[in-house]
Amino acid sequence: MAFGRSSRKRRPVEPVTLKILVAGGFGVGKTTLVGAVSEIRPLRTEERLSEAGRPVDDLAGVEAKTTTTVAMDFGRITLREDLVLYLFGTPGQDRFWFLWDELSQGALGAVVLADTRRLEDCFAAVDYFERRAIPFAVAVNCFEGADRFPVETVQAALDLDPEVPVLLCDARDRPSVRDVLVAVVEHAMARADRIREPATT
């Protein structure tokens, strides 16, 4: 030992791993969000849009979109040395919603990604997580050319409980997405703490 320092190596920290879902409407940016923060090469299950899908895939507002997620996106981000998030992006079209129940098993919380040009597209995701009591935050993906609204306006339009976080974000920007994920984890933890608190008489 020299200068009072131990030569023994510190034991590596075994991180806690948490599962977060990324949901929202078709073409809202879920695959982009997962890819922006993942420290591993993200797993993607994208297929090209086909003529057969045109009658059921609403491309209004996302006319340039050529692919769609048919199962899930997967990525991983280390928030702290002792905290790792596994991100599961859900498919956006109605015909793939049967996958949501399986993907949501064991999830700590969720991000509902919203586009103000097609806000109604995220109603189904909000309803899904509310019905299953899965904590979630709404992240408004600020597309170029889209109208910007205060978070209070978005919260009212979606009829959200006051405790549900609403954030503006850029799904392409790693720090922006990281802030959204931190908000989801903090919201889920705070909600769990409230549930554990003994009822006062």
Mean pLDDT in each 10-residue stretch from start to end of the chain (201 residues)?
A: 55 88 92 95 64 48 49 89 95 71 94 94 94 97 88 95 96 97 97 79 51
CA distance 13 to 76: 17
Residue-level pLDDT at 37: 96
DSSP per-residue letters across 69-98: ESS-EEEEEEEETTEEEEEEEPP-SGGGGG
Task: Give Cα separations from 96 to 10, 25, 35, 57, 180 (angstroms).
Answer: 46, 12, 21, 12, 25
SS3 string, 3-72, reads CCECCCCCCCCCCEEEEEEEEECCCCCHHHHHHHHCCCCCECCEEECCHHHCCCCCCCCCCCCCEEECCC
Does the global pTM surpass 0.75?
yes
Residue-level pLDDT at 48: 56
Residue-level pLDDT at 57: 47
Residue-level pLDDT at 163: 95
Tokens of 196: 């554990």
The domain 16-196 is classified under which CATH number: 3.30.390.30, 3.40.50.300, 1.10.10.10, 3.20.20.150? Answer: 3.40.50.300
Residue-level pLDDT at 70: 47
Report domain extents, the chain: 16-196
Cβ neighbourhood burial of 200 (10 Å; 0-12, 13-18, 19+): exposed
